[in-house]
Amino acid sequence: MAKKKKKEKPIASEPDTVSAEQPETETAAGCADGECAPQDPTSAEQASEPQTEQTNTNEEEEIVVSSVIHTTTVLEDSPSSAPESVAEEEPDLSEEEKEKLRRDNADFSMIDESHDNPYRNVFVQSLEYVTADDLGAPPKKKKKDPVDVIIELFRKAIFWAAVVAFFVSGYQIVAKLYSYHQADEIYGGFENIFEQTDRREDLVAYAIRSSAMSTLTPVNGTKEESDTNANAGYDTQFNEKLMIVQGQLQLLRNENKDVVGWIEMPGDTKINYPVVQGEDNDYYLHYAYNGAYNPAGSIYLDYRNSVSVSTNRHTVIYGHNMESGSPMFANLLHFQDESYWKNNRYIHIYTDEAMYTYEVFAAYETSPQLAGVENHSWRMNFNKDEKLFLQWVDSVRARSDISPKVTIEGNSRILTLSTCMNVNENRYVVHAVLAEVSK
């Protein structure tokens, strides 16, 4: 502890410099009736020095005793205060050790930003002293150029157009895949209709019993001629197939009266479907044979044709080109290769009248917008002019991808199968000539 400075010369006449322990008689003896006896200065100085030393010694003793008592009292009252005071002392560390300690306590400093945290974030600490003058005035908003505004609006328009196009395309893809699946369920059961032996007898019996069996005049002309041809030794297998299909047609008409026939193409085309006919050529583009909506549509007869195929000079049947599921007329495009024709040259049309067998003689890509009815692939009206009809046959043969040697005469009956290309507005058509009628 630091000692108090020694008083230079205590003045005897001042009452504050007199020690409290000095006897009052000594003062009274020195002065009588308000007067003090003269003293030797030397002796007075000598007399005052011991008193001062004694006073200082007493004061030091009192301070030491007071400190000991205070320390003892603190230790007795709160024994844990000493360790706390020691823990609060900041350790004497080098700059490297302090930096390491800051890094070790980085997580703590991010959490505890109080003033008592010596390791709190320096940047956060500096924010306490930031003033508005330090930040400066906020920058003024720059006025946009009209050209920039237009460009920005154009960009946003493109962005939202792309978003809309994405969702629309996604919807179309999903809808298309669903239509493929649905069409496969609707038409998948017809692929092996002639191989379902467990149903053959039932269908034949149903066809015989059905009062809806048609007695329309067949292609040969009169009813009597038809009866004669029916007993002239036609293959019984064809007759059985005809009866199976006729029974199937009667069952399908219970679902939809627009069912008018059946088309089968032996070979690799997988064409084996019921045929319907609507009031126009648009409805069955989007509806199945049973009347249910389906983008795969149906195989359908041109609305201008007669249900009695034998009366048509030119019969036209349409079908979609499906990329998946039930193919419908998709495989007709394989006729671009003449080798395909060899195994897929015949087409069977079944009606209540008979089974009509056609032989393919031409196949090619064409456009509905082709000028000149004389070259139109779907032309039907020839006004019974055989010369005009044969000119038309020559025109389609000239465009054909195949050139089989099939005989066609002026009174021949033509069947045309038509489907879309899926890459443009053109169509692919396959022409066939009636070769045989079976009952």
243, part of any domain: no
- Of 392, 252, 247, which Cα lies nearest the Cα of 314? 392
Residue 416, pLDDT > 90, answer yes
Residue 57, pLDDT > 60, answer no
Residue 429, pLDDT > 90, answer yes
CA 95 to chain centre: 57
The whole-angstrom separation of Cα 252 and Cα 206 is: 12
202, part of any domain: no
DSSP E strands, 270-338: 272-276, 299-301, 314-318
Q: What percentage of the chain carries pLDDT values higher than 90?
A: 35
391, part of any domain: yes
Please count the other Cβ atoms lying within 10 Å of the Cβ belonging to residue 300.
Answer: 24
pLDDT average, residue stretch 164-186? 84
| 3-state SS assignment for residue 237 | helix
Tokens 């297998």 belong to which residue?
237
* The predicted structure's pLDDT at residue 168: 92
Over the chain, what is the mean pLDDT? 74
**CATH number (domain holding residue 309):** 2.40.260.10
**Lowest-pLDDT range, 153-157, 204-208, 294-298?**
204-208
- Of 47, 16, 10, 42, which Cα lies nearest the Cα of 30? 47
Q: What are all long-range contacts of 231-237, with beta carbons under 8 Å and residues at least 24 apart? A: 234/438, 234/439, 235/438
pLDDT average, residue stretch 311-340? 91
* The predicted structure's pLDDT at residue 187: 83
CB 419 within 8 A of CB 364: no
**Lowest-pLDDT range, 253-267, 324-338, 373-387, 394-408?**
373-387
pLDDT average, residue stretch 335-344? 93
Q: How many C-alpha atoms does 85 have within 13 Å on its Cβ side?
A: 7
* The predicted structure's pLDDT at residue 88: 54
The whole-angstrom separation of Cα 304 and Cα 280 is: 8
| 3-state SS assignment for residue 405 | coil
- 43's CB contacts (< 8 A; 6+ apart) are none
User: What is the SS3 string spanning 42-78?
Assistant: HHHHHHHHHHHHHHHHHHHHHHHHHHHHHHHHHHHHC
For 80-119, the pLDDT digits (tens) are: 444 444 445 666 778 888 777 776 665 554 555 555 665 5
5, part of any domain: no
Q: What is the DSSP letter of 409?
A: -
Residue 16, pLDDT > 80, answer no
Q: How wide is the angle at C-alpha 255 spanned by C-alphas 254 and 261, nearest 5°?
A: 80
160, part of any domain: no
For 309-319, the pLDDT digits (tens) are: 889 999 999 99
* The predicted structure's pLDDT at residue 136: 75
For 284-295, the pLDDT digits (tens) are: 999 999 888 888
Using pLDDT thresholds of 50, 70 and 90, give the confidence band for residue 217. very low
46, part of any domain: no
**Lowest-pLDDT range, 146-160, 211-225, 411-425?**
211-225
Two structure tokens written together for 414: 């033509």
Instruction: Give how many domains the chain has, as a whole number.
Output: 1
CB 277 within 8 A of CB 258: yes
pLDDT average, residue stretch 2-21? 44
Burial classification of residue 126, based on how many CB atoms lie within 10 Å of its CB (0-12 exposed, 13-18 middle, 19 or more buried): exposed
| 3-state SS assignment for residue 189 | helix
Which is more confident, 209 or 7?
A: 209
The whole-angstrom separation of Cα 370 and Cα 379 is: 12
User: What is the SS3 string spanning 126-158?
Assistant: HHCCCCHHHHCCCCCCCCCCHHHHHHHHHHHHH
Structural domain containing residue 430: 168-197+258-438
400, part of any domain: yes
Residue 190, pLDDT > 90, answer no
Which is more confident, 189 or 3?
A: 189
Helix (H) or strand (E) holding 341: helix 338-343
* The predicted structure's pLDDT at residue 183: 79
61, part of any domain: no
The whole-angstrom separation of Cα 61 and Cα 56 is: 9
pLDDT average, residue stretch 177-198? 72
Mutual angle of helices 197-209 and 236-253, in 10-degree steps = 70
